[in-house]
Structure 1
């Protein structure tokens, strides 16, 4: 009986899917989960053998789940338990976190893991979908004859999947607003310390700005400010003369950004910060060369404007930007005949281009700028700009009115719901933000009690962050939807 069954399956027709399944790259997944590993790593639980063993087992199962998604595009749903330290100041306090894994998308799996622990998800959201598709491993999934799925009891792609119930905004708020309030109360004293320390450093250093731009929570920001203030107390004159009139950013790297900001890594020790500060003068010559290189690049592309834009947690250092510009300059110099052929005498000065890292995708941003990786061949850059020129013109033509309307909608929404703050992720477009805020404002009578004095981040998912900020998808579902 079984031999005949398997002979039948062997003869079954194998149908190749038209669609292609792609995933985030291994490096992108590792980078996105790095903050998570730091709070659950077994080495942090040496004095707690039970919690250490649980985290070791859960990490192993998580690795198997992610590997299965990357290899086959599917994995058996599972629930993992991790023990997480509450914060750096309560070494003996731990929190038990349950992570439910049921997504077939690697991106959604990473978001679920980070969201369950209240960790920032800006990095993964700042990776465009096209980047994840372009850098992932390419697989072609196979669909067998229906008799194969009937015989093996596996889920058949020929069957219509059962629709998941849609989560409404008010329902989610009822389940999570209490957790948000608890987190806000728990870190209130931390925020007060940050305000006080920032004000003291502002007055002492006479800097333009002190900002936090790291994947870590604000408790780490307070730690950085305390450490830096102690460093300043040891070298007041030296540090004041270096930072006067500058912008000081605590981020994930140490260096001088292409915007001239002094960037200090939250993971470095103060001695490393001091070494950078003492060498800041050496970066001035690099910063002075950058405008001339941008002018040369603009001239090679019929006067297109070259602008510098930084994304959250992804600052480009000045010396790295110089290398990126030089690489793209060399590539475009070799195809000037092709520029003349494609653009002829067309003036591109009304368009904008951002030179990005070598692993980024070519794309058109929501503000109408061309995002061009330095690793792209010159001919591909030319073709892309030529193909998307009309689309970019439309976005640039409407962007100022869109941004103005977005600001008005944000202000009205904040007033109607009495919010402390409403902001958005970088990958949320002005049109999406406008739609979200207009709907929130129209539903104020239903939502004002739940959201009173809350801080809202408009994104593509639901989450409660470490500081109590509430993330909601821009296309949230209302009671009347």
Structure 2
């Protein structure tokens, strides 16, 4: 595929990581190649501008900046001048990213070893500055009150912080979803009460992920697919069910296709076939 070869060439020449899922939207190959070519032209016209970008993971998105995962976002509607300005600011962004890591560690120490994570698929992309502000506010709030949690009592568990939530909850995949303004006594009681269930769900999630990887590999082989992927909104259970049904159907018309499991039917510009995970016969 032209896009794949172009991506590999750019990565090899610029020491920048552009993953297969480094696209905020399901763009076709023409749009992807256009963005890569634009970045490549900038690297040739102004190679010094990309020095700060080396070693980073690049994600093409609606807006430029750095996300909560530390990836560099390049706005697809921005011009080279705006990208260059972002590259100049990357040392500051990197410093902010390192500070978020420190805050996550401190919060983990205060909350029994549980880890604060950010999952893009559970919400919109969060800029690094907003993520830092959320962590900082929550950390200061925790420091003002004394929680009585054993240092390792929640080790291995994860939590997602949300600014617009009033009560804590437990996600079906085992993540605690914690409001930054949560009363800390209620938070402590909630975490202790639901820790066992969170571990069960986390174990189940991990088992599903292992099963998903095996089923996807088998589906690729049996249907002779060129590729098989899914959109972020499709969970492991849905992906497993979809793959098993595709193998039962075993349509020879799918041979050589790249299938993306989604929530809708669509054919992309590069011929990729999008099918909903609960597709109908």
Distance 1:401-1:214 versus aligned 2 partners, 3 A rule: closer
Tell me by how many angstroms 1:286 deviates.
1.5
Higher RCO by CA contacts (8 Å cutoff, separation 6 or greater): 1
> How does the TM-score come out when normalised to structure 1?
0.51
Name which of 176, 180, 198 aligns with 2:7: 198
Instruction: Spell out the pairing of 1:80-479 with structure 2 (5 A cutoff).
Output: 192=2, 194-209=3-18, 212-215=22-25, 217-218=27-28, 219-239=30-50, 241-311=51-121, 314-336=124-146, 339-340=147-148, 347-356=153-162, 358-359=163-164, 364-365=170-171, 367-374=173-180, 376-378=182-184, 381-382=187-188, 384-444=190-250, 448-478=251-281
Change (3 A) 1:327 1:263: same
C-alpha separation in 2, matches of 1:252 and 1:320? 16
Deviation of the 1:207 alpha carbon: 1.8
In 2, Cα distance between the equivalents of 1:237 and 1:345? 47
Report SS of the residue matched to 1:208: coil
Q: Are residues 225 and 235 of structure 1, via their aligned partners in 2, closer, same or farther at CA, if it must alter by over 3 Å? A: same
CA contact (8 A) 2:7 2:18 kept: no
Partner SS for 2:120: coil
CA spacing shift, 1:288–1:344, aligned 2, 3 Å: closer
Say whether the 8 Å CA contact 2:145–2:184 is kept in structure 1. yes
- 2:154–2:195 CA contact under 8 A, matched in 1: no
Number of matched pairs: 278
Partners in 2 of 1:468 and 1:249 — Cα distance?
22
Runs of 4+ in 1 over 6 A off after TM superposition: none
| Closer, same or farther: CA 266–438 of 1 in aligned 2, 3 Å | same
Once the 2 structures are TM-superposed, how far is the Cα of residue 423 of structure 1 from its aligned partner? 2.0
Q: Deviations over 1:378-435 (max 9, x none)?
A: 4564455445433321122233332222111111112111112222233333233222
Specify whether residues 220 and 439 from structure 1 end up closer, same or farther in structure 2 by C-alpha distance, changes over 3 A only. closer
For 1:345 and 1:330, how far apart are their aligned partners in 2? 19
Does the C-alpha gap of structure 1 residues 459 and 228 become closer, same or farther in structure 2, counting only changes over 3 Å?
A: closer
Cα distance, 1:234–1:377 mapped onto 2, change above 3 Å:
farther
**SS in structure 2 opposite 1:279?**
helix
Instruction: State the TM-score, normalizing by the size of structure 2.
Output: 0.83
Mapped contact 1:355–1:373 kept (Cα < 8 A):
yes
Larger Rg: 1
Counterpart secondary structure, 1:472: strand
Q: CA RMSD in A?
A: 3.0
8 Å contact kept, 2:171–2:177: yes
Helix, strand or coil at the partner of 1:311? helix
Task: Tell me what 1:153 maps to.
Answer: none
